[in-house]
Amino acid sequence: MFAAANCRFASTSASQGTCIFPCRCTNGCDTTTGDCLNDGQCQDGPPSGYRWSGPGCQTGNIAYHKKASESIGVEKWAIKYPAGKAVDGNTDSRIYKNSCAHPDNAEGQYAWWMVDLGETYRLSRVIIYNRDSQPERLNRFILRVGDSPDRATHRWCASHSGPVAAGATVNETCTAVGRYLSFKRDGGSDSHIATLCEVVVIGHRHISCDSCSSRCDEIIGCDACGPGKQQPDCTKACEPGTYGENCKEDCGHCKDILHCDVTTGHCTTGCETWYTTNMCKTHISAPHFVTSDKAGTADITSSSAVVTWPQATGITLGLESHYYYMVWFQVDGETWKSQIVNVESHQLSLGNLPFNTHYSVKVEPFRRHGDKHAGGTTTAVTTFKTKCTGRSTHIFTFSNLKCYIFGLSTMGNK
């Protein structure tokens, strides 16, 4: 089965697990609201100095360790100083410390750099750290935001037209919604080269409140969603294998997990073998007898006997129609024969039996589901012998002759 998102916020920062939001608190989070517990506060960084804030501590540097790319020109500085160095959390401005990205391009073409935030975010600010030498390589640039890696489709977000001092930072307001942030030089000396020692992008996940039926916050979303929809914004249907309010319930053992109704959890194409009910959560467990269980006999005559046995272990209450007993019996060591008995009965009357004959009996519990049948551990084998007939005309068989001569008509169980 698939796992449902069973929490809105992770309880600690160690692991997000299947929760919607990570915990950004120092001493643990409330899994419903994201509030910091145990006198904790929102975590700092990375990089240091950029503390997470807002509801659930979910506003902060959303570019850290995200996938980045950059232009590569003739000088191929980008190979030695890759794009990811600008989002590694290291703000050291000394390029020789291998802490900066260094995009370059052909002469006459602007250097560019881009980060994929992984999903759609609402951005508010972008802070860029300049290198400690040749600071002009950060002069004049444009920031754009888009929904695809095609930079030509990105929308203007901010621009900087003046110089940036060596080792300084430039802090630009960038109010936009998108998944990709791109940087491009826009003139000035050596505009085919740029150096970015760190790029900090402040923002939070972009959540629409249009589909919420409960209280909604644009940062952490809807407090609750109706059946079949998942947080944070109640626009997306449950993932396969989950259903119900906020998609917190796991589907049962559906024959096809893609046919688990996201609203009710009903398996519309049936259940896996040995599971039943509309939601396929009820198991038809395997029945069995324990070692000490043994079939008994009663009312033995010359031509009949009653076989009895205890209730088998493992029969699921309420699913008796999926079980039955198979009573096996053998006459004087010949081939075993069988007879089916309803599971609610614990005895079988055998009639028309030859007199003075040895029988072996055992009982096997079965479960069934559709055309599938499976037996469990049987009882121990019980043996008995039918009595001699009192007055038989068939006295010329060995058994009957023995009974007739020696008067063994009272012979019973072996």
142-193 pLDDT, tens per residue? 999 999 999 999 999 999 998 999 999 999 999 999 999 999 999 877 899 9
Whether the per-residue pLDDT at 413 is higher than 50: the answer is no
Q: What is the spatial distance between Cα 357 and Cα 346, in angstroms, rounded to a whole number?
A: 24
Bigger pLDDT: 409 vs 285: 285
pLDDT for position 187: 85
Mean pLDDT of 330-339: 91
| Confidence at 403, pLDDT banded by 50, 70, 90 | low
Whether the per-residue pLDDT at 291 is higher than 90: the answer is no
DSSP state of 315: P
Q: Lowest-confidence range among 7-16, 94-103, 292-301, 384-393?
A: 384-393
Chain mean pLDDT for the chain = 89
What pTM does this model have?
0.65
Residues of the chain with CATH 2.60.40.10: 296-406
Mean pLDDT of 267-277: 95
pLDDT for position 402: 53
Assign a CATH topology to domain 296-406: Immunoglobulin-like (2.60.40)
Q: How many other C-beta atoms are found inside a 10 Å radius of the C-beta of residue 244?
A: 21
Mean pLDDT of 374-387: 93
Whether the per-residue pLDDT at 405 is higher than 90: the answer is no
Residues of the chain with CATH 2.60.120.260: 67-205
pLDDT for position 354: 87
Mean pLDDT of 43-48: 94
Whether the per-residue pLDDT at 275 is higher than 80: the answer is yes
DSSP state of 362: E
Whether the per-residue pLDDT at 6 is higher than 80: the answer is no
**50-68 pLDDT per residue, tens:** 999 999 999 999 999 999 9
Q: What is the spatial distance between Cα 327 and Cα 337, in angstroms, rounded to a whole number?
A: 8
| Confidence at 48, pLDDT banded by 50, 70, 90 | very high
Residue 363 to residues 204, 336, 358: CA-CA distances in angstroms? 66, 12, 17
**337-373 pLDDT per residue, tens:** 999 999 999 999 989 888 899 999 999 999 999 999 9
Mean pLDDT of 209-222: 84
**113-129 pLDDT per residue, tens:** 999 999 999 999 999 99
| Confidence at 395, pLDDT banded by 50, 70, 90 | very low
Pairing label, strands 358-369, 372-375? antiparallel
Mean pLDDT of 255-268: 94
- For 67-205, CATH number out of 1.10.760.10, 1.10.3720.10, 2.60.120.260, 2.40.50.140 equals 2.60.120.260
User: Considering the chain, what percentage of its residues have pLDDT values greater than 70?
Assistant: 92
Burial 140-161 (b: 16+ CB within 10 A, else e): bbbbbbbeeeeeeebeebbebe
CA dihedral (171, 175, 179, 180) positive or negative: negative
Residue 48 to residues 12, 88, 301: CA-CA distances in angstroms? 20, 12, 93
pLDDT for position 188: 78
